[in-house]
Amino acid sequence: MPATPVTVIRHRKERIAKCSLRHLHERPGFRFLRASCGMRFDASGQILLAVDAPPLSSADRGRALVLLDSTWRHLAELRRCITGEPILRSIPGDVRTVYPRKSRIYDDPEAGLASVEALYVALRILGEDDESLLDGYHWKDQFLASLR
């Protein structure tokens, strides 16, 4: 169980079968919410991961973490569910995904990661290096090797 409380808000159209976080649903310390039309989540004082934000650092320890789980296409819509004053942070720019992206319609951000990759790196930065978070991730070994 992570010491950092984690809330994952999944876009209503995101397919659980393709979700990189599905193996964490029953794990203590994680709360999974499915965003429905009109849903609101007050993230005041919590860290909200965002690609274009200042980098996450160990100075952010002690705050809850909010992760939006969506395709890049639906991310702006999902972001509108967040209310309050979250603390926006990004994963440092030297971390790259190993997930094979295949969108022919939408450009994925260069710094974009699979949700489980972002979660693992965020908790690692916050002092909780738990490789078992990646146990259900097909590209676990490649991702860990890329971080070395």
The dihedral through the CA atoms of 71, 72, 74, 79 has a sign that is positive
- Residue 35 CA to residue 14 CA, distance in Å, equals 10
Residue 62 CB contacts under 8 Å (≥ 6 apart), including other chains:
none
Amino acid identity for residue 71 in this structure = T
> pTM of the full predicted structure?
0.86
The one-digit pLDDT tens for each residue of the chain (148 residues) are 678 999 999 877 666 666 667 778 788 889 999 888 788 999 999 999 998 899 999 999 999 999 998 877 888 888 999 999 999 999 987 777 766 655 555 555 555 788 899 999 999 999 999 999 999 888 899 989 989 8
